[in-house]
Chains A and B, each alone.
Chain A
Amino acid sequence: MDASAPASNTPRILDREPLVLNNRSYSWITNRICGIVENKQPALWWILFIPSVLLTGLMAFCFTYLISTGVGVWGQKQPVAWAWDITNFVFWIGIGHAGTLISAILFLTRQKWRTSVNRAAEAMTIFAVMCAGLFPAFHVGRVWMVWFLAPIPNANAIWQNFKSPLLWDVFAVSTYFSVSAVFWFLGLVPDLATLRDRCRPGLKKFLYGFFALGWRGGNRHWSHYETAYMLLAALSTPLVLSVHSVVSFDFATSVVPGWHTTIFPPYFVAGAIFGGFAMVLTLMIPVRRIYGLDDLITPKHVDNMAKIILLTGTIVGYAYCMELFVAYYSANPYEADAFTLRGLTGPSTWAYYFMFSFNVFAPQLFWYRPFRHNMWVVMFVCMCVNAGMWFERYVIIATTLERHMIPGSWGVYQATWVDKYTFLGTFGFFMMLFLLFLRFLPVIAIGEVKGVLPQSNPHQDDHAEHGIQEEDLMAYADRHVPKPAAA
């Protein structure tokens, strides 16, 4: 290349959009995020918290009523033996998936924008899995026998049936919960140290200090810590894909028309990520506004998540259409009937139309950039998706069972008040846990956000004139510069 060519001929690399707006300093970030925990909560926090606690009480009442009366207080009976409870289970566990996607998959793919939302999304994962776990536990009928699900020797010498997808589910969900909790806790340790160092001596300082494990931010610690974080991300990535695949095996390995399809695992995983991102945005858009985090959770973050909703929503739409096509093309009369009943002639076609319009049509608004940047539109679409994903599970589970292979075993499902209030109660439980999280723990990963600021790069400005991305150079240097020999 001609060295004397004018500089204007070299292609200019566009600047990246900053991840933190207004050039905020390290201490601004610390103060803003720790301030949420240290200052009095806004009135809105209480306005949301009190009803959430009341709804949690309602949930506890419903479960108590169910235990004391019997599982028949729920609406399911033959032929619809799985109904709202399993629908709610799949709904909640799906919501969790977005948290793991943000914390693990976006970490492995070096999407630095994840740092502003990963903490809250991981918290959401854990709380959603807690809500999810309640339903199958009570669905077993005698909830005090639920420990029989665990593979421990018992007096009957009967072991679990490890060939059953229902037991795979026990392992998948409990592993998912444990690993998510470990991942979340490990990410919290440096931030708990920040809170510890800001507290006056007392109970609070003791508790934050206890859970911060004596963290001192030494690079010899960070070095192992980052490896551990990377390993957990690498472990969580296949895990999260496996969890909803295993959930879908509950249906796909059966011989029920409408369930027995090979498309279920990818279809369920895409749907889970889709519904989960809608819930992340539902929570984070109000949080950024109420707590003044607009510089940390920027329109760019919302924009990126809206794009993921659009992508996964379209995958889900493809899966719906493919199901219809296979029902037609397989020439299997039972499969074809299952889908005719779902969409045209069955007793619950309304649910199918809700599902289709909320999940496939509503997200298409996100093709248009101004809609992705208008928080009201984003919230509207997210609400549609939240509802639509519940209807999807309801359609798959309850309406399929309403029509078995022979007309003699047909029935119509009707949810009871206990079904409805239990589900409503889990929303209260979820919100209560999330609000407590906002109150006591840093909602944004302080250390990680500081790490993506431009001034956190030790080689800032060194190569700016070449227009080369600094992190590319650093990644290269890490791999190729020989380590200096110890003296």
Chain B
Amino acid sequence: MSTTLKRVHGYLAEFDSVKDLYHAAEQVRDAGYQRWDVHSPFPIHGMDTAMGNPRSILPKFVFCGGITGTTIAFILQTITQTNFWSHIGLGFLQKIVETYPTVVQGKPTDIWTLPAFFPVMFELTILFSAFTTLFGLLALIGLPRWNHPLFASKNFPKFSDDGFFVCIEARDPKFSQEGTKTLLEKVGGKNIELVEDEL
């Protein structure tokens, strides 16, 4: 569906090489822009410094996810296989899961059988961490999403082949139709185009 109403998404400029893109990014950063990004077919080493990006906070999520996995494995195994929870006065928890004790292998039924639970605790730590990594990443980068204004640009799909782009968004407080375009020209941008979002 096409309407006449359009909103400016931002300026998109193309660069010839990684080196040009890197130096352009440094200058855009120094000009004080906030809402902008560079698009490249592969991650460029050192680009975070050139853009002034902070470190990803993903590891903090993953740490929490991993601890959750360890805890769940510990509770799951001790509640179903030991008398640990009754001993610390939380026997009602064991009533809830209604376990029929499997007294086999001549192994202890108190908390000191804990080493036998290490493998499952380890595996669930890894499992929960891995899924936290995946979903934490998707949450941080705001994907998946069906469409994006940049895909309206005829030039943009080159980003996944051999194109290097800088896009400065209109919602940046320093954005101006003339000033931003001049900056992109000054830092060596080519094929500068105004990307519009259909409303």
Contact = CB atoms under 8 A, between A and B. Distances in A.
Interface of A: 25-27, 30, 151, 153, 156-165, 167-168, 171-172, 175, 178-179, 182-183, 185-186, 190, 193-194, 196-198, 213-228, 231-232, 235-236, 238-239, 242, 246, 249, 446-448, 450-451, 455-460, 471, 474, 477-478, 481, 483-484, 486-487
Contact of B53 (A178, A216, A223): A223
30 contacts: A26-B162, A27-B162, A158-B99, A162-B76, A164-B105, A168-B123, A171-B119, A171-B123, A172-B119, A186-B137, A197-B157, A217-B40, A220-B141, A222-B40, A222-B44, A223-B48, A224-B56, A224-B137, A224-B140, A225-B43, A228-B56, A231-B58, A235-B129, A242-B122, A447-B41, A447-B42, A450-B41, A458-B19, A459-B19, A474-B45
B49 interface: yes
Contacts, number: 242
- Secondary structure of the A contact surface, majority rule: helix
A161 B102 contact: yes
A455 B16 CA distance: 11
Main SS of the interface on chain B? helix
Contact of A217 (B41, B50, B54): B41
A219 B38 contact: yes
Given A156-B100, A225-B141, A227-B58, A175 B127 contact: yes
A459 B137 contact: no
Interface of B: 17-19, 21-23, 25, 29-32, 34, 37-56, 58-59, 62, 76-77, 80-81, 97-100, 102, 104-105, 107, 113, 116-117, 119-120, 122-124, 126-127, 129-131, 133-134, 136-138, 140-141, 143-148, 150-151, 157-162, 167
Contacts of B138: 213
Contact of A216 (B25, B52, B148): B148
Contacts of A221: 37, 141, 143
Given A190-B42, A487-B30, 8 more contacts: A30-B41, A163-B105, A218-B38, A219-B25, A224-B58, A226-B43, A235-B129, A483-B52
B56 A242 contact: no
A264 to B, nearest CB: 14
B126 A239 contact: yes
Contacts of A171: 119-120, 123-124
A299 B140 CA distance: 40
A309 to B, nearest CB: 27
Contact of A161 (B30, B32, B51, B104): B104
